[in-house]
């Protein structure tokens, strides 16, 4: 039963019961209409209360039905609201905990609304690249006033019910038991006529034209490539300037238009992708998990310190282990400074500052971390170093502790083999800066226990990360793909581009940072070390030697004030370097390459399709479980533009046949071997299918 019908004296109570948030799926919508019909046909019933079971009134549309025929099947939410609004018996919404999206639109269709304190009220559709489509933009301004309603609709952010208690949205704030208050209120208004309808309220806002134009200009500047925020203003304007039914029709037109945009498809893809990422087919949701009450981190460098901050931010005490007191003191001082900066910006209270700093302590002794529930090593990226650390952890850590490696490329199975408990070993690859970046690549070894994987996914949520599961391979999902992206960036330099052009082209596409600015930030010597290893391990893979020549000049990036770009002391802004550009041009000449003009379009296609093609291989090999997991890695860890949805969805939107045809064109150029389509990509393109 997705909605229950009961009669309490002369009041019928319809309780939505579709966990977890009483989504308004087809079965729930049908049950509401059935309940209303029963109430209207029962002479003993004088009023109706609609509420939600569990921890929500209603969170809105049922996301399980998105993009399916059920989403638009009758009774639609519009039909449900019409039935409620036109009921000749009063309908009271009893609102608690969560009332968002379609749930709020349903409540606005009721004649009265009683709410409990602390309920979160929102129309969050803009965050999915759409706008409220069942009257939200027309009714909310009538009860909140133009300004407050517009802010809620354009931001999509929730507002606590107490802040709205004195508006026309709520008729009563229930201090005690909500249902008792709602039923008492329903009895009180049982004979009230005519029944109030939100649609009949007039919006009174002098000079609305000036306010809306100012809002439009402000929102347009902030919305970037996303069309929905500005369209929200258009819809709200209709609430002021059009008859109610005309405004409703216009809202629907805008909704339908936005649903089709690539930006909305990208946002909805990310929304579903984040939820799908935490689901592993052979690890059911009821898999037992281990309790994480304390943590340890090996290494107090930039990465180790950032990882420790994640635990402290989540209220988990953490001990950082270092070999030398000087390194430990430096690491702890950096952590404190990071928190002080956040405190100065007003993003942290003094109480929280004291609490978080107090949860982090340092030690030089392995014995002092032995009782931690999880330990994450963040030492130098070299297998011999990892071996020493994991052999020691195997000796000192209590039984049942999770032993995690923050390796970004190394074989987690080999690391696990250094211990007598490979079932407890997992890769937890944080991204730098670890206390800021949302991505956590969770690398599942061959022998990693299912409870360890389930615990790691649960921990990712607790420390506010997007956990994405990867199998074991060189570089896992993210770094394995970025290697192909970086290879193409290097080839582009040899063929005719310069770092600034490549960076500007991909940043215009929407990336947060181009490959050469990214290299300067991360340290070009890191990539150099990886390439040196590759030259031995995979001699058949070709790389541009330009980056090696740069490192031989000692230009490691921002840390040496010289990389692909020049940097001034205390200034992170990259300045094009004549020395580097001359080196690139000379290198092309030494290779006998006639440099050519390369278009920005070619730069973007080569960089992005290199990611897509490697992603297809990763998918086919089972390293990633689904295409959306790959997209989540790139959206949350590598600055891929959110409005484009990730490298796999972007390829779907371009059309896989078009992607393959473009790759075939590149294959006729220099380094054509890099452009052989992955078998999965070639097959899906030939069948007219997509990754997602």
Distance CA 522, CA 556 (A): 9
Q: Is residue 143 within 8 Å of residue 108, measured between CB atoms?
A: yes
Backbone angles phi, psi at 262, to 5 degrees: -60, -30
Bridge partners of 95, per DSSP, are: 115
Distance CA 139, CA 109 (A): 8
Q: Is residue 659 within 8 Å of residue 609, measured between CB atoms?
A: yes
Query: Which position has the token pair 């790959």?
Result: 630
Is 4 tagged catalytic?
A: no
User: In terms of residues, how long is the chain?
Assistant: 692
Distance CA 400, CA 300 (A): 24
Task: Give DSSP secondary structure letters for 24-92.
Answer: --HHHHHHHHHHHHHHHH-TT--EEEEEESTT-SB-SS-GGGTTSGGGGSSSPHHHHHHHHHT-SS-EE
Per DSSP, the three-state class of 319 is strand
Distance CA 404, CA 299 (A): 13
Catalytic: which of 65, 85, 88, 125?
Answer: 125
Catalytic: which of 65, 85, 105, 500?
Answer: 105
Tokens of 642: 């959110």
Question: Cα 492 to the chain's mean position, in Å?
Answer: 31
Q: % helix / strand / coil in the chain, to the nearest 5?
A: 55, 15, 35
DSSP class of residue 288 equals -
Instruction: Indicate the angle between helix axes 228-241 and 244-259, nearest 10 degrees.
Output: 170
Give the dihedral sign, CA 687/473/286/18: negative
Query: Which position has the token pair 């354009």?
Result: 154
Is 340 tagged catalytic?
A: no
Distance CA 119, CA 97 (A): 4
Q: Is residue 115 within 8 Å of residue 161, measured between CB atoms?
A: yes
Catalytically active residues are 105, 125
């Amino acid at each position: 039963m997705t909605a229950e019908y009961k009669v309490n004296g002369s009041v019928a109570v319809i309780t939505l019961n579709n966990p977890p948030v009483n989504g308004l799926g087809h079965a729930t919508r049908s049950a509401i209409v059935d309940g209303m019909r029963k109430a209207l046909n029962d002479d003993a019933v004088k009023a109706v209360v609609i509420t939600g079971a569990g921890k929500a009134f209603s969170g809105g549309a049922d996301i399980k039905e998105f993009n399916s025929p059920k989403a638009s099947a009758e009774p639609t939410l519009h039909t449900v609201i019409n039935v409620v609004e036109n009921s000749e018996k009063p309908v009271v919404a009893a609102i608690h905990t969560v009332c968002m999206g379609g749930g709020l639109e349903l409540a606005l269709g009721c004649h009265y609304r009683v709410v409990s304190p602390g309920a979160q009220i929102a129309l969050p559709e803009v965050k999915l690249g759409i706008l409220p489509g069942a009257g939200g933009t027309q009714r909310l301004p009538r009860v909140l006033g133009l300004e407050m309603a517009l802010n809620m609709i354009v931001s999509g952010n929730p507002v606590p019910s107490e802040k709205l208690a004195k508006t026309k949205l709520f008729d009563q704030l229930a201090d005690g038991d909500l249902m008792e208050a709602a039923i008492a209120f329903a009895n009180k208004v049982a004979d009230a006529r005519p029944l109030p309808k939100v649609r009949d309220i007039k919006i009174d806002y002098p000079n609305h034209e000036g306010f809306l134009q100012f809002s439009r200009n402000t929102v347009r500047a902030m919305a970037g490539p996303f069309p929905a925020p500005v369209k929200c203003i258009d819809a709200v304007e209709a609430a002021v300037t059009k008859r109610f039914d005309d405004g409703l029709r216009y809202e629907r037109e805008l909704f339908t238009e936005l649903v089709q945009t690539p930006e909305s498809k990208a946002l909805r893809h990310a929304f579903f992708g984040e939820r799908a990422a935490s689901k592993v087919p052979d690890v059911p949701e009821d898999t037992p998990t281990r309790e994480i009450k304390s943590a340890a981190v090996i290494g107090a460098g930039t990465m180790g310190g950032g990882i420790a901050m994640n635990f402290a931010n989540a209220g988990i005490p953490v001990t950082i282990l270092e070999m030398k007191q000087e390194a430990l003191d430096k690491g702890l001082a950096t952590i404190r400074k990071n928190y002080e900066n956040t405190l100065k910006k007003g993003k942290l209270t003094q109480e929280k500052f004291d609490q978080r700093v107090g949860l982090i302590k340092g030690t030089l002794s392995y014995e002092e971390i032995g009782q931690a529930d999880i330990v994450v090593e963040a030492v130098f990226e070299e297998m011999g170093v990892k071996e020493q650390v994991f052999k020691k952890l195997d000796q000192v850590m209590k039984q049942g502790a999770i032993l995690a490696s923050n390796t970004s490329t190394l074989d987690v199975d080999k690391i696990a083999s250094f211990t007598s408990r490979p079932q407890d070993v997992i890769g937890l690859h944080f991204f730098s800066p670890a206390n800021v970046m949302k991505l956590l690549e969770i690398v599942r070894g061959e022998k990693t226990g299912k409870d360890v994987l389930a615990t790691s996914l649960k921990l990712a949520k607790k420390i506010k990360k997007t956990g994405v599961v990867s199998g074991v391979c060189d570089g896992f999902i993210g770094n394995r793909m970025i290697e192909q992206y970086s290879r193409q960036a290097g080839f582009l330099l040899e063929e005719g581009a310069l770092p600034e052009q490549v960076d500007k082209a991909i940043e215009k596409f929407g990336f947060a940072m181009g490959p050469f600015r990214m290299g300067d930030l991360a340290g070009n010597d890191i990539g150099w070390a990886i390439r040196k290893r590759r030259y031995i391990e995979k001699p058949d893979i070709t790389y541009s030697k330009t980056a090696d020549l740069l490192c031989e000049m000692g230009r490691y990036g921002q840390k040496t004030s010289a990389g692909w770009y020049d940097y001034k002391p205390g200034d992170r802004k990259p300045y094009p370097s004549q020395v580097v550009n001359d080196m690139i041009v000379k290198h092309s000449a030494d290779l006998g390459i006639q440099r050519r003009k390369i278009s920005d379009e070619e730069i973007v296609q080569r960089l992005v399709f290199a990611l897509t093609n490697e992603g297809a291989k990763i998918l086919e090999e089972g390293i990633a479980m689904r295409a959306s997991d790959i997209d989540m890695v790139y959206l949350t860890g590598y600055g891929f533009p959110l409005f484009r949805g990730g490298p796999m969805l972007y390829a779907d939107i371009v059309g896989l046949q078009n992607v393959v045809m473009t790759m075939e064109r590149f294959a006729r150029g220099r380094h054509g071997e890099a452009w052989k389509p992955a078998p999965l990509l070639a097959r899906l393109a030939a069948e007219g299918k997509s990754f997602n």
